[in-house]
Amino acid sequence: MKTFNRLILILLVTTLNCSSCLAQTNSEVKKLSDDERMAWWRDSKFGMFIHWGVYSIPGGERDGKICGGGAEWIMDKLDYTIEEYEKFPAMFNPVKFNADEWVSMAKDAGMKYIVITSKHHDGFSLWDSKVSDYDIMDSSPFKRDVIKELSEACKKQGIIFCFYHSIVDWHHPQAQGNLFPNYNAGQKDQTVVNPEFPKYYENYLKPQVKELLTNYGDIGVVWFDGDWIADYTTEMGKEFYDFIREIQPNTIINNRVDKGRKGMEGMDAEGNFAGDFGTPEQEIPATGIDSDWESCMTMNGSWGYKPSDKKWKSSKRLTQNLIDIVSKGGNFLLNIGPDGLGQFPPESVERLKAMGVWTRENGESIYGASASPYDKPEWGRYTAKDGFIYAHVFDWPEDGKLVINRTIKPRQATLLSDPYTKLKTKLIDGNLTIHLPEKAPNNIATVIKIKLMPNDDWANLKRYKKANIKLKASSTKNKNRVVFMGNSITEKWVKYSPEFFKKNPFVGRGISGQTTSQMLLRFKPDVIDLNPKAVVIHAGTNDIAGNRGPITIEQIAANIFSMAELAKTHNIKVVLASVLPASNYSWSPSVEPIEKIEALNSLIKTYAEKNNIVYLDYYSSMVDAHKGLKKEYGRDTVHPNAKGYEVMEPLVKEAIKKALKK
């Protein structure tokens, strides 16, 4: 009895202690929206794929015979029986494996996440699985949990840990273990199915994935593969997707969890399929794709370690592939196939280092960047981010003149590596031309950072455009029309009290966030051109909040008075409304508005009295003892609710009547 209690106690303590390695349980996790969930991945752009397993021992060779394609397929391609293949786990003792070193090499290359093959098609598991003995703890002399060590190393170095998992299993009798010598017969011949597969799916595949999602902390991406067998159905795929999101709500799952993928091109066919991103393999789409996708690629011709395969892509090619992929809106998952001792091939280390030099210097033009809105230039690629275009020049123009897309509106161009030297940019014979230094600073890709002319519709000039044209043309020409100029308070007034604006000749021209400077710019299209009898100016809140930068109370008042002057010059009666009381502004928490509101209202009131203009005092009727908006009148600390507007409506009607008499 005593030993049994001691056992329970030990179990309890261990569970509690490795709370850090345990993923947060579903109920504790704040469920993110899809965009929030995908954000880190969309910003990361560049990840490391690691194909490692017992197939890394033979490296694609059997008795001098080299297997075609990926060395990770040696069991199928060189016809190993399961018994014969099981000699490899027994030999698997990668004493050179150092998770921290692997992660550092990924990080130094500029990669933000790592996807490791937890189990590939051969069925061997690289973690301490309680569901199977065909794993690194029970079937190899190594007896170290690779997934544990790698996930912890990633966590230490701020790299997102992700795992690959094969749906296909050539070792499991209820999966493809009964198909020797052609374990992959089910790919071509969709009639080849194992009637036991649903049991494998329920009692082996799902439990193993649950282990990986439960014992190794937060998983960034679950990267499935082997979706091509007919045994695995779209119903299973959709159920599996929900099963995983139930365990880790914020993980990301590739589209190979379901059956929509159109071959190596990797994107889903039309239809409703589960999965968060497409997976082109060994190819880069010709043009940009406006959905989430990630191209996975080998450095040579094999995913698994294959010393005989010398077809290494140059680091220049691989870096330009990264740029090409980001310029088309994708992520790049670049593969490493470590050897049987756990070392990265020197050719891979060399390429990682070279890519790291480039990403360290030019990362700004990649991470968090989006696809270019312009056609692909023949000399390179474009990426875009935060009002900048990054021109990645692969082929340096002999004459030093770089012709960029004519629709770009450059404000200033510099080398990304030399932000202080402006590059002359001119229209030459209709070509937008940037004058470059004679020699290319970087022979892989030199990045030109082009600051764009601001294109934000600062004065919201697009707003109310059609409505104003319609009103101007309408027959009910200015019969007692009154325009309500304003911000979100006026905009929501029209929305929440439409009748008030229908049954009165009142026209709402409120724009959320609008300041007096913007109102002044809009005064002609929204007021003068509509030829109203009167205008009620509701202004000041967003200025006090600092929406468009610092402005003094006096300057705000001056803007309001300018509008009043403008109206008067067009014989439009003016009603100047007080700013509503507010104790704080949620969107600008640093501002303490109370005194500023009082000061501005006093300036407006004084001006109105001096200039025989109607001052509309909402403030006194709606302010509470703490000089905030009365709770019963507010949707929040600023915006009136229906009751609030019911207080305001008679006040404004009275004010307009007075103004029209003036």
Q: What number of residues does the chain have? A: 662
Smallest distance from ligand FHN to CB 414, Å: 39
Please say which residue, 225 or 231, places its beta carbon nearer to ligand FHN.
225
Separation between Cα atoms, residue 162 and residue 216, nearest integer Å: 10
Smallest distance from ligand FHN to CB 292, Å: 16
Please say which residue, 164 or 493, places its beta carbon nearer to ligand FHN.
164
**Is residue 281 within the footprint of ligand FHN (CB under 6 A)?**
yes
| CB of 259 closer than 8 Å to CB of 227 | yes
Greatest alpha-carbon span in the chain: 105
Separation between Cα atoms, residue 108 and residue 102, nearest integer Å: 10
Smallest distance from ligand FHN to CB 122, Å: 10
Burial class (CB in 10 A: 0-12, 13-18, 19+), 523: buried
**Residue 331 gets which letter from DSSP?**
E
Residue listed under structure tokens 């393999």: 281
- Return the H-helix or E-strand segment holding 616: strand 614-616
Closest CA to 86 of 165, 142, 139, 143: 139
Please give the residues from 306 up to 365 whose contact with ligand FHN meets the rule CB under 6 A. Answer: none
Separation between Cα atoms, residue 175 and residue 179, nearest integer Å: 9
Residue 243 token pair: 């099963």
Q: How many helices (H) and strands (E) does the chain have?
A: 22, 23
Residue 63 identity? D
Please say which residue, 70 or 94, places its beta carbon nearer to ligand FHN.
70
Separation between Cα atoms, residue 186 and residue 594, nearest integer Å: 73
Instruction: Please spell the DSSP secondary structure of 371-416, one letter per residue.
Output: E-SSPPPTTEEEEEETTEEEEEESS--TTSEEEE-TT--EEEEEET
Please give the residues from 192 up to 251 whose contact with ligand FHN meets the rule CB under 6 A. Answer: 225
Residue 653 identity? K
Please say which residue, 169 or 225, places its beta carbon nearer to ligand FHN.
225
DSSP 3-state assignment of 295?
strand
What mask, x for binding ligand FHN by CB under 6 A, covers residues 358 to 397?
----------------------------------------
Please say which residue, 152 or 281, places its beta carbon nearer to ligand FHN.
281
Please give the residues from 407 up to 466 whose contact with ligand FHN meets the rule CB under 6 A. Answer: none
| CB of 168 closer than 8 Å to CB of 184 | yes
Please say which residue, 348 or 516, places its beta carbon nearer to ligand FHN.
348
Separation between Cα atoms, residue 456 and residue 198, nearest integer Å: 55
Give the CA radius of gyration of the chain: 33
Closest CA to 413 of 395, 442, 431, 388: 388
Smallest distance from ligand FHN to CB 229, Å: 12
CA-to-CA separations, 360 to 105, 107, 562, in angstroms, rounded: 13, 10, 52
> 616 - beta bridge partners?
577
Q: How many residues bind ligand FHN (CB under 6 A)?
A: 6
Residue 28 token pair: 């504790």
Please say which residue, 303 or 619, places its beta carbon nearer to ligand FHN.
303
Please say which residue, 164 or 500, places its beta carbon nearer to ligand FHN.
164
Smallest distance from ligand FHN to CB 306, Å: 11
Please say which residue, 141 or 263, places its beta carbon nearer to ligand FHN.
263
Residue 499 identity? E
Smallest distance from ligand FHN to CB 234, Å: 18
Please say which residue, 306 or 351, places its beta carbon nearer to ligand FHN.
306
Please say which residue, 70 or 345, places its beta carbon nearer to ligand FHN.
70
> 387 - beta bridge partners?
none
Smallest distance from ligand FHN to CB 62, Å: 17
What mask, x for binding ligand FHN by CB under 6 A, covers residues 285 to 314?
-----------x------x-----------
Please say which residue, 119 or 522, places its beta carbon nearer to ligand FHN.
119
Smallest distance from ligand FHN to CB 225, Å: 5
Please say which residue, 115 or 572, places its beta carbon nearer to ligand FHN.
115
Separation between Cα atoms, residue 113 and residue 418, nearest integer Å: 29
Please say which residue, 298 or 559, places its beta carbon nearer to ligand FHN.
298
Burial class (CB in 10 A: 0-12, 13-18, 19+), 398: exposed
DSSP 3-state assignment of 321?
helix
Please give the residues from 535 up to 554 whose contact with ligand FHN meets the rule CB under 6 A. Answer: none
Among 72, 122, 276, 292, binds ligand FHN (CB under 6 A): 72
Smallest distance from ligand FHN to CB 259, Å: 14
Please say which residue, 135 or 281, places its beta carbon nearer to ligand FHN.
281
Smallest distance from ligand FHN to CB 301, Å: 12
CA-to-CA separations, 28 to 14, 21, 102, in angstroms, rounded: 20, 15, 31
Smallest distance from ligand FHN to CB 72, Å: 5
Separation between Cα atoms, residue 185 and residue 181, nearest integer Å: 9
Residues 6+ apart with CB under 8 A from 457: none
Smallest distance from ligand FHN to CB 335, Å: 7
Residue 536 token pair: 């009620």
Please give the residues from 105 up to 144 whose contact with ligand FHN meets the rule CB under 6 A. Answer: none
Smallest distance from ligand FHN to CB 303, Å: 4
Smallest distance from ligand FHN to CB 281, Å: 5
Please say which residue, 231 or 281, places its beta carbon nearer to ligand FHN.
281
* Secondary structure of 490-529 as H, E, C letters: HHHHHHHCHHHHHCCCEEEEECCCCCHHHHHHHHHHHCHH
Smallest distance from ligand FHN to CB 543, Å: 55
Which residues of the shown chain bind ligand FHN in the complex (CB under 6 A)? 70, 72, 225, 281, 296, 303
